[in-house]
A = this chain, B = another copy of it.
Amino acid sequence: MGMIGGSLEAFIGAVHRRGSQLDGEIELVCGAFSSSAEKSKATGAALYLNPSRVYGSYEEMILKEKALPEGERMDFVSIVTPNHLHFPTAKMALENGFHVVCDKPATLNLAEAKELKKVIDASGLIFALTHNYTGYPMIKEAKHLVDSGELGEIRKVIVEYPQGWLIDLVEATGQKQAAWRTDPARCGAAGAVGDIGTHAENLAKYITGLHIDELCADLTIFVDGRQLDDDGNILIHYNNGARGVLHCSQICNGEENDLNIRVYGSKAGIVWHQMDPNTLIIKSRDGGSRTIRTNVGNLSAQAQAHTRQPAGHPEGYVETFANIYRNFAFALRARWEGKDQDPLYDFPGIDEGINGMAFIENVVRSSRDNTNKWTKFEI
């Protein structure tokens, strides 16, 4: 694996490195960690990389690695840059024969995402998008419960993602995470909705399989001087008639990272909180409430396949990245061995990326439209 972005001061680069290393299936062999060659070099050194494979730019990395003999060069790139660089880096990597794992969102806008899909299709290579939260065992179980009809017909979805870390103008303090996430040029058309709202939407879609038919959005910038929304509230009509409420915020003071979802069907409802990820509740009016826990009792093959520890040994955030990287590695190996990819080891790809970008654009469009109540979801 070669990494693009992810210098020492970035948060998400370390997450990807840890996720990819956890299972011993993937080795980091090279990187272009920063647009500053010096920072890139320092990062490579801290990671014990061969200095000759620490590059000053992603272009250099892709071309020089391509020039190495097969078996010596990196097999794929991991892209962990700010959003605006996802498209050019992924495109160049794919066009030079390297598979790609890319941090979400896929690209800076929907047009790029669609274009990226064409590049991927043309390359015939594998592309994974790290919508990591669907990698939790209990989310696999939740999807399994819906798919197997345990919830009946889905009627209501409430998905939330409150955070509080942008309660004031953090971006003005030079904090790097905040700076690019609130800058339209590097982040795209939406702030909170793009950064975390897309995770919420992706989670709901993954579990329920429902598509958004139309939506009504209300985005707000609360903090003076901020350029992108820091709060978003959205009503949703799903394609099957179900109703949805999705809200996300980065000004919910005191909230950490409280992605959570409730799905109610004609037969039962489920509840899950990301900050208590190994617990899934299923309940119904007449049947009471059952607590499903990672690796307790008889779980689905899907949940088991994404579990590493015995019951009661907490699995967390890093394992969600590890699940994507491991499944991606399984897909690569299957290809090398001429086998089909095993659907048990799923991971998000460009279709999820396109959907996410479309979600952002439809939400922004709806929010700006104060006359029409409902905005048809268009991709």
Contact = CB atoms under 8 A, between A and B. Distances in A.
Interface of A: 11, 14-15, 17-18, 21-24, 28, 47-48, 151, 155-156, 158, 160, 162-165, 167-168, 216, 218, 220, 222, 231, 233, 235, 237, 243, 245, 247, 249, 251-258, 262, 264-269, 274-278, 281-293, 296-298, 308-319, 369-374
Nearest to A285: B164
Given A256-B311, A309-B318, A317-B314, A231 B156 contact: yes
Given A253-B285, A269-B255, A371-B372, A318 B308 contact: yes
B243 A312 contact: no
A376 to B, nearest CB: 12
Contacts of A18: 22-24, 308
A50 to B, nearest CB: 14
20 contacts: A15-B309, A18-B22, A158-B247, A162-B264, A167-B266, A252-B269, A253-B266, A253-B284, A255-B269, A256-B310, A256-B311, A275-B312, A288-B291, A288-B292, A288-B293, A289-B290, A289-B293, A316-B319, A370-B374, A373-B373
A25 B282 CA distance: 40
A289 B243 contact: no
A254 B289 contact: yes
Given A24-B17, A371-B373, A313 B264 contact: no
A253 B264 contact: yes
Nearest to A22: B18
A233 B222 contact: no
Give the interface centre of A15, A167, A285 by most chain B CB atoms within 10 Å. A285
B313 A314 contact: no
B253 A283 contact: yes
Contacts of A313: 257, 316-317
A267 B293 contact: no
Contact of A11 (B47, B165, B310): B310
A307 to B, nearest CB: 12
B218 A312 contact: no
The 9 A-B residue pairs whose C-beta atoms are closest, nearest first, are A257-B312, A256-B312, A254-B283, A314-B316, A316-B316, A256-B311, A313-B317, A288-B297, A289-B291
A250 B17 CA distance: 37
A164 B264 contact: yes
